[in-house]
């Protein structure tokens, strides 16, 4: 590895972990604004030190492992979610030349890494040896596996139009027109599947407090719980970055701002959308969520794939 590549790796890692921490404060302030209340406002200016307070609290909480848990699997589960999400970021081109690994199979690599995150939920719930945690894990696994299918299919239209699985090539193909214009159905389905994959409200069924205490991480405390927490915020950032790259032209924008600034502006817009969805939508029942997926989203995404393929062949022919 050259010095430049090492700097890119550590730079991306530093920025991502700071975004994950900062989103704790951003989410609380935005939810407060949306719900007409104050939110954190005592710890530091505008309550920004609430991030430090939360981090210190998690570090000093007792790192308890239940005596009835499967110890090594219990310890491994939180690490899998953070590692799989961080690995997914290696293929995202943040600006020309700022990408950790410019893979030709970038889209497939992203789907493979997001599939691995399912293991953290299943193993965490199973190793806890707690019926509520196991129920949450089973819900999470079926939800993530189902919506993984729709997520993959929703991207195939973009791959057809750009002719590549490489994310840099997909961004370059949007020079004249963003794919959100030619693939609006693919974008909406990818967004819905992304919310389900990160199990954010309204799709937070694996950890529904009113039904399952805290779901699959009910037995976790201290920094192990913190890693699930960080994994969730990194997941939101990842899905937002993928939406920007695949449908909104990535770093492309007018020349008065550098490419990295355009990417950051678009990224934070979608992170804000994820947060405000949490404040405004009710949670569907578990059977409704799975029903929506297989009965509505699957036929729509297959129809989108068929029409896109036909139009792409017609335009080339």
* The two three-digit tokens of residue 183, written as one number: 């693939």
178 located within any domain: yes
pLDDT at 308: 92
4 located within any domain: no
> Nearest CA to 265 among 95, 106, 125?
95
287 located within any domain: yes
269 located within any domain: yes
Whole-number Å distance between alpha carbons of 241 and 263:
8
Interval 266-284 mean pLDDT: 87
Indicate if the pLDDT at residue 304 is higher than 90: yes
> Nearest CA to 242 among 266, 260, 262?
266
Indicate if the pLDDT at residue 77 is higher than 90: no
Helix pair angle (222-247, 106-127), 10° resolution: 160
**Residue 266 banded pLDDT, cuts 50, 70, 90:** very high
Cβ of 46: how many Cβ atoms within 10 Å?
12
35 located within any domain: no
* The two three-digit tokens of residue 81, written as one number: 């979610």
36 located within any domain: no
pLDDT at 134: 83
Indicate if the pLDDT at residue 52 is higher than 70: yes
- Asked if residues 30 and 279 have their Cβ atoms less than 8 Å apart, the reply is yes
Cβ of 32: how many Cβ atoms within 10 Å?
16
> Which residue range(s) make up the domain with 173?
66-316
200-254 pLDDT per residue, tens: 777 776 666 656 666 777 788 778 888 888 888 899 999 999 999 999 988 888 8
202-216 pLDDT per residue, tens: 777 666 665 666 677
270 located within any domain: yes
pLDDT at 54: 82
Contacts of 22 (CB under 8 A, 6+ apart): 51
Q: How far is CA 71 from CA 67, 120, 143, 181, 295, in A?
A: 8, 14, 26, 50, 40
Strand, helix or coil at 95?
A: strand
102 located within any domain: yes
Strand, helix or coil at 36?
A: coil
**Residue 103 banded pLDDT, cuts 50, 70, 90:** confident
pLDDT at 229: 82
Q: How many structural domains comprise the chain?
A: 1
């Amino acid at each position: 590895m050259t010095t430049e590549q090492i700097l890119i790796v550590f730079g991306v890692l530093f920025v991502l972990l700071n975004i994950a921490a900062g989103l704790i404060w951003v989410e609380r302030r935005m939810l407060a604004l949306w719900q007409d209340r104050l939110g954190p406002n005592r710890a530091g200016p505008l309550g920004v030190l609430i991030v430090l307070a939360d981090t210190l609290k998690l570090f000093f909480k007792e790192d308890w492992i239940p005596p009835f848990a499967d110890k090594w699997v219990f310890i491994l589960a939180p690490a899998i979610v953070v590692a799989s999400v961080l690995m997914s970021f290696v293929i995202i081109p943040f600006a020309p030349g700022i990408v950790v690994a410019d893979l030709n199979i970038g889209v497939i690599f992203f789907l493979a890494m997001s599939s691995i995150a399912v293991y953290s939920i299943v193993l965490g719930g199973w190793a806890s040896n707690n019926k509520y945690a196991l129920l949450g894990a089973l819900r999470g696994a079926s939800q993530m596996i189902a919506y993984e299918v729709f997520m993959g299919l929703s991207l195939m239209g973009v791959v057809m139009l750009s002719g590549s699985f490489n994310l840099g090539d997909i961004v370059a193909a949007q020079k004249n027109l963003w794919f959100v214009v030619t693939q609006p159905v693919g974008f909406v389905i990818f967004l819905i599947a992304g919310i389900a994959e990160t199990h954010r409200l309204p799709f937070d069924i694996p950890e529904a407090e009113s039904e399952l205490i805290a779901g699959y991480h009910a037995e976790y405390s201290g920094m192990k719980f913190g890693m699930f927490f960080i994994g969730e915020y990194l997941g939101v950032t990842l899905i937002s970055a993928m939406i920007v790259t695949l449908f909104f032209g990535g770093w492309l924008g007018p020349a008065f701002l550098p490419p990295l600034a355009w990417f950051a502006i678009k990224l934070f817009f979608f992170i804000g959308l994820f947060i405000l969805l949490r404040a405004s939508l009710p949670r569907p029942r578990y059977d409704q969520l799975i029903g929506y997926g297989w009965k509505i989203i699957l036929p729509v995404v297959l129809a989108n794939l068929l029409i896109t393929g036909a139009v792409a062949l017609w335009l080339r022919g």
